[in-house]
Structure 1
């Protein structure tokens, strides 16, 4: 699917804005994700670490979670464990480094079905959003 077509599809689906929780400690990655998501009518909430992500999840409902693995205070995998204990129905997407297959294996043990590898491919990301939302 071409970029323009997928943008139109996402905008159609997202007339009532959906909210995405992004747990990412790298400010450049956060900026890039926001540049992709905000023009597509998504509300974006940022958590700078796993602990903050768990707290934000307790306070509000999210349509999707983007979770980095390596963060200070609490890593993304432990955050997913704790969020799942809160009755997670929101699909998490785990952001993994392309070279680290252990992250995928551990994530799959937690029931995670969706992954994005760094660096995040724009079309892959948009197609995954389109499929999940």
Structure 2
């Protein structure tokens, strides 16, 4: 077991307890004690799951979750909170939380919910994501169009994978830069346009479009068919 878990919790004793128990179970962990630190850690590093407290200094867990889901639809996020009202749970789930853990909790429950969330995430990756004739399989680092394997560079694959994680969502160039090139990238946003053209040439056919331009905003991935010109 080598899954990496980000623990965002401002109560030091609870954060340390979670870290010790999870590492004893074989997980790798990182601690963050404010909402902003948690968000920056998530953007800078790779995690398999996030344990996210709701009541945090600097930025609430709900706001952190909202920003995570703006660029990442798949990483499991378990909200941890002392609040048990239905309203709070509904708000978290509507924002994209995978599951909810209410304080005080038993560690066996935490372990079970983590295992369940990781299994679901792994199953989704193994099946790959299909949109029309386009299939993107992250576990195999493979792209197929109408059953034919398409060769992409690592950066092209990362760009396409980001699109398929956010289907039918209009993504700005800035969002794409943060997710694919990194939060600290300071180059021209035109690099997004260049790589979108590269990917389009490889995955799109005369009568089939996937990555569509939204003028003045950015791009959106959705299947679109049209008659070939004769």
Q: TM-score over 0.5 for the alignment?
A: yes
Q: Is the 8 Å Cα contact of residues 96 and 104 (structure 1) preserved in structure 2?
A: no
Residues 62-119 of structure 1: CA deviation (Å, up to 9, x unaligned): 0000000001000100000111112242110001225333220110111223011101
Q: Is the 8 Å Cα contact of residues 101 and 110 (structure 2) preserved in structure 1?
A: yes
Structure 1: runs of 5+ lacking an equivalent:
1-13
1:59 to 27, 44, 55: 44
Matched, 1:101 2:81: no
Query: Number of residue pairs matched?
Result: 118
Larger radius of gyration: 2
Residues 13-32 of structure 1: CA deviation (Å, up to 9, x unaligned): x1xx1110011000011111
Which stretch has the larger CA shift, 61-70 or 113-122? 113-122
Counterparts of 2:95 and 2:109, CA distance in 1? 22
Matched, 1:34 2:19: yes
Q: What is residue 68 of structure 2 aligned with on the other side?
A: 83
In proportion to residue count, which structure has more helix? 1
Counterparts of 1:77 and 1:116, CA distance in 2? 14
Q: Is the 8 Å Cα contact of residues 96 and 118 (structure 1) preserved in structure 2?
A: yes
Matched, 1:69 2:69: no
1:116 to 72, 92, 101: 101
Output the aligned Cα RMSD. Answer: 1.3
TM-score, normalised relative to structure 1 = 0.82
In proportion to residue count, which structure has more strand? 2
Q: Which has the higher contact order (CA 8 A, sep 6+)?
A: 1
Q: Is the 8 Å Cα contact of residues 65 and 93 (structure 1) preserved in structure 2?
A: yes
TM-score, normalised relative to structure 2 = 0.49
Q: What is residue 43 of structure 1 aligned with on the other side?
A: 28
Which stretch has the larger CA shift, 52-61 or 80-89? 80-89
Any idea what SS the aligned residue of 1:120 has?
A: coil
Q: CA deviation at 1:42?
A: 1.1
Q: CA deviation at 1:56?
A: 0.6
